[in-house]
A and B are shown apart, each in its own frame.
Chain A
């Protein structure tokens, strides 16, 4: 067994969804037709913070072609609130609105034109309340709080003797950095079809976590799990925006009112008022010795979770977990707070709290290195956490050699030999570095089922949503490898709660590692059964039999797996079933500790700054990805490059702009996402395979690491080029110019 080489694992196989997605046949939720389906439009609040004094939908209900209008008054005989941690989100606004764009009523009609017309006929009266905009106003606490208070969550931890360390160190640095509100822009805005029926509820929805949606809907409407079917077709991008439960409760409640299936397809404008990333502010005090040893870090942070908690609890915690950085720290104190404001609720977005935390951490590391006169790269290496060390006390020790990874990136980037070269007057070049480790939020709980058919093909059943990451292909690769059958013989059925076994979620870079393990175990289960059948056939011991390419062989004789299965059932049909359970007690022993793995992020950037205009151009960016084992190397690169490009967005352009609670740029004309011409001339992923992950073949998650380091590496490069430190993102030309101007550098 040990000498056998991989057949499909480790190769860039043809994705199983290639033919669907390159032909226009791939079906997303909005492409589905359900018989009798009505179409929904939302009545949303124009005000960011107000009491609802009257909702009168009678004129809308009277419009021919309108089936139903859902308002708070219809939320009877059901639970009214939902949420992943705190159930503070009403299915539709009750008594009060907490952000501009919050749904107040929802219309179901024969077609969208009628639904749009009916929206105009819903009369809502508000009593305006003072708006809580941003972290400062939330902390100030003046006026009406967003909920009972503006505090959503508090988190903290501490070890060592922080106060003593600060007293005894040579120098103390304190710096504050700000991260903006940004929007995922999954190109498919949230879409859901719900059919509320007497004996069941069916949903087709663009959700990353079908089983969490199932559980939430069952709870809200008092149904058993087996009565709620959630089907997730192809998802047009997630990045966290479609995690947990979003529009599904509203659409289900409306379907109940309308007595027929209802579809709601959000616009980009509405999606921007559904979920976003948390804006954040972090302050770090760091105590260092003159030789560059960091002895203490004290981190205080705030995240703006908007009108409702959504994933604000976890983001508050992860922001705190990640802020001290990948350093060996004897004394640490962290305190983070999640705050409510009158803005779009903030939820998961690719590495929750990660880009915010590492922006703060790694910007300050550069500040300190510069002040100490040390090379920022060497300063990082000097303080880096070592393999096997607990980077957070009581958590899983770091499983890889970070120094090696850092040096690999620096070498490939050419850190030591870099010179700015000749530039036109007023144009300056610089390089910057950043690194981070993020504790994966992946919960080690997945199941999988494999059916091995009588013709030698197999179907793999997984709960993972296919949202671009290529999980179906990776699962087919793992299943084929372990069943010893060709990749082309495996089909994957995914994310239909009535067909596939339970999975927790698709997110936190978890699918290859944890669902992969479940598929691996289910496929091994099949192989074990096949070998038993072969042993019976050859009158040999299972371990004496070679299995490859769908055939078992023993002493020069071979038999197809398919024939073995048919023989077992005594005829032409039959099949085997294999199962895989992944729980914290998985027999590998690798899933007991939290986090199940640490994701490494490293970035090196070269920028050019036009000091006259403030424009920053990212010329080169090098990132690292350590998937443990790259099951499909092209897809690993794709995850890293895609994450880094999203980060280029929040680094240079992206920011949801609010004024008095009104979102000023709720469209792609004014909210600028990266395009082809923003691609740096060199945009490289350094792939290392450390083989130390808890997943199959030592695999671990990727896909989040690439988003974490772009902003600090870029700002550090701007500092290197100009000597000016910018502490607020994004690095728009105007912001950079103002900073340069104040420093006398423009």
Chain B
């Protein structure tokens, strides 16, 4: 790996100005699980890495009203095992357990995973249905964006060259919401990820949140499929029901699947239909409420 220098700021402001002053020669470093592999292989090269873990308190996981706030340097393992997350975001804990392998989870961070914007991310897909928000800091202050506004392409985000993600704010699902996540594939990275969260009131789908990831460069919500499910009676949402089939069909249409090592477009679209149905049914089967 090409030599680089390490900058260890102690405040977010310091990190932001170091980033701003580097003219693109610096990158933020948290877990490094993706970044360092790219640097080892020569795909990326930086003069300086800015270690966000040197900023005190950025690894905290805390509650803020209905939301759980996950600091930028909290690892996947820390999130998975955090008592607050397990209690109030059990599906996030479950999905974090499935990320890569134990060693990656022990080092890699949730925020880093989102910012690296590798297309095959489970959390990036799941957080869409949690309607998570991101705290973004820059030299001129901070702003809050929806998680869905972060990734703009393969390895590309909307963050400015002098901005950093400081926290991921994940609201717990409203009571009565049932949720499930499915991933599929045999490669090291998932071929497909689907998240479904359905609010059920009096036997009717009051709200539906569906997200799809990995089959295309950017994870996305599937609003047309959500619209189809909203207002439907859940006892009518059975395997092969016309409504569910329509939601699955629209999901595959909206997938924008790309052909790659994980499969051809038609296969991926087919998988979207299969797993959309399975995930919705699995979510609905969790009739105890909550997202567990």
Contacts and interface: CB of A to CB of B under 8 A. Distances in A.
Do A and B touch, yes or no (CB under 8 Å, in the complex)?
A: yes
Interface of A: 113, 425, 612-613, 615, 652-653, 657, 664-665, 668-670, 672, 732-734, 737-738, 746
Given A113-B3, A665-B261, A734 B267 contact: yes
Interface stretch (B56-64, B89-97, B156-164, B186-194): B186-194
Contact of A737 (B187, B188, B189, B270): B270
Given A425-B239, A613-B274, A737-B267, A664 B261 contact: yes
B259 to A, nearest CB: 11
Contacts, number: 33
Interface of B: 3, 184, 186-189, 239, 261, 263-264, 267, 270-271, 274
B41 to A, nearest CB: 8
A732 B191 CA distance: 12
Contacts of B184: 613, 615, 733
B32 to A, nearest CB: 16
Nearest to B267: A734
Contact of A733 (B3, B186, B189, B261): B186
Contacts of A653: 186
Contact of A669 (B186, B189, B264): B189
Nearest to A652: B186
A718 to B, nearest CB: 15
Nearest to B192: A613
Given A664-B261, A734-B263, A738-B267, A672 B239 contact: no
Contacts of B263: 734
B187 A734 contact: no
Nearest to A612: B274
Given A612-B274, A613-B271, A613-B274, A670 B188 contact: yes
Contacts of B188: 668-670, 672
B187 A672 contact: yes
Given A653-B186, A657-B261, A733-B184, 19 more contacts: A113-B3, A425-B239, A612-B274, A613-B274, A615-B184, A615-B186, A664-B261, A668-B188, A669-B188, A669-B189, A670-B188, A672-B186, A672-B187, A734-B263, A734-B264, A734-B267, A737-B270, A738-B267, A746-B270
Contacts of A612: 274
Contacts of B3: 113
Contacts of A738: 267
Nearest to A673: B188
Contacts of B267: 734, 737-738
Contacts of A615: 184, 186
Given A657-B261, A664-B261, A737-B267, A670 B274 contact: no
A670 B187 contact: yes
Contacts of B261: 657, 664-665, 670
A626 to B, nearest CB: 33
B104 to A, nearest CB: 11
B153 to A, nearest CB: 20
A404 B177 CA distance: 60
A447 B28 CA distance: 60
13 contacts: A613-B274, A615-B184, A615-B186, A652-B186, A653-B186, A664-B261, A670-B187, A672-B186, A672-B187, A672-B188, A733-B184, A738-B267, A746-B270
Across the A-B interface, the 5 shortest Cβ-Cβ residue pairs = A612-B274, A734-B263, A669-B188, A734-B267, A653-B186
Contacts of A734: 263-264, 267
Contacts of A746: 270
Contacts of A665: 261
Contacts of B186: 615, 652-653, 672, 732-733
A653 B191 CA distance: 14
A557 B272 CA distance: 83
Most buried by A among B184, B188, B189, B261: B188
Contacts of A670: 187-188, 261
B93 to A, nearest CB: 20
A668 B41 CA distance: 13
A612 B248 CA distance: 14
Contacts of B264: 734
Contacts of A668: 188
Nearest to A730: B186
Contacts of B274: 612-613
A551 to B, nearest CB: 53
Nearest to A669: B188
Contacts of A664: 261
Contacts of B189: 669
Nearest to B191: A733
Contacts of A669: 187-189
Contacts of A113: 3
B151 to A, nearest CB: 20
B237 to A, nearest CB: 16
A581 B239 CA distance: 71
A120 B239 CA distance: 58
A508 to B, nearest CB: 32
Contacts of B239: 425
A297 to B, nearest CB: 34
